[in-house]
Amino acid sequence: MALVLVSSRSFGVVATIGSELLEDAGFVVERIGPDERPLDAAKLARILASRQPDVLLSGAEPIPRSVLSASPSLRMVQKHGVGVDNIDLDAATELGIAVANAPGTNTEAVADLTVGFMLSLLRSVVPAAVSTRSGGWERFIGRELGRVTVGVIGTGRIGRDVISRLSGFGPRVLVCDVYEDSGFAERAGVEYVSLEKLLRESDLVTLHVPLMDETRELISAERISWMKPTAYLINIARGELVDEVALAAHLADGKIAGAAIDVFATEPPTESPLLKLDNVIATPHIGAYTVEAMENMARRCAETIIRVMRGERPENLLNRDALSRDAGS
């Protein structure tokens, strides 16, 4: 029986459907235990060399060539999530290892939290709650979401879902993306603009782009300086999209009003300067953590593994060439 080794922390924890589907299909499912964490590439490679799984069901841990080549039995890496910036796709393809993700399974959850952050920032929900619990009765003055300008960077699935939710509030929405879709802009009532214009004019800026070489530290010190002193930044995509040190400096000096950060360059972010600031809402990468998203993701991962291991090529397979290559070719 084929072995599925689970390195994802969250697979099977909230929703059991994924494990059930795999076991019903004849797979053996094993988890990497808490005593073996945290996982770096060297430790993960040693675990794969020892257990020799056929499938790795991964989380956010790094999966370079050294990990991919550690198990001679490895035929597939299934990401329990959407972004695959932690996986060496080129090496996987060369080694004949299929890589797939679970697109669309957490879109609504992430979009919901994004709008929740917007409302929390504009109405000072977190400091107001902290103040009240400590015996205070400070009545914070906020702003209405329908009266501000929102800048959405990235108009893929999640960015568009955020925009859809914003339509009920009615703010002006500016968008920025490498690929501009004029039809979408007309239907959604949004305006494609340059990144600089978006940052200079928006009261809320939210990031929804993948992490690539071109987007690493997309929000740099210079670009943060373009933002209004009353503006807020939301990052629920990838920590490396933002220069965290520069962001912390601007927030500490009052050059921008605040931020909501769900993702960090290093997780857990024990050394991040952002954690020391009162005008930052910091959460532990919970964007996809809803019952519904976890169930959708678990099901999609299991169904994809079953299909790929049967020789099929589902649409969420990211390197189709891998299935036509011999390992090591």
Nearest to 117 by CA among 237, 260, 239, 299: 260
Is 250 a residue of the active site?
no
Is 267 a residue of the active site?
yes
The residue from 267, 271, 313, 320 that is catalytic is: 267
Is 307 a residue of the active site?
no
Name the phi and psi angles at 150, rounded to 5: -110, 130
Helix spans in the chain (H):
17-24, 41-51, 65-68, 89-94, 107-122, 125-133, 157-166, 182-188, 195-201, 221-225, 244-252, 291-309
CA-CA distance, 61 to 57, in Å (whole number)?
11
- For residue 227, give Cα distances in angstroms to 170, 193, 219, 242: 22, 15, 10, 14
42 with 69: CB under 8 angstroms? no
C-beta atoms surrounding 269 within 10 Å: 18
Which positions ≥6 away from 32 have C-beta within 8 Å? 5, 6, 7, 39, 47
The residue from 75, 208, 223, 238 that is catalytic is: 238
3-state secondary structure at position 198: helix
Q: Please give the positions annotated as active site.
A: 238, 267, 285
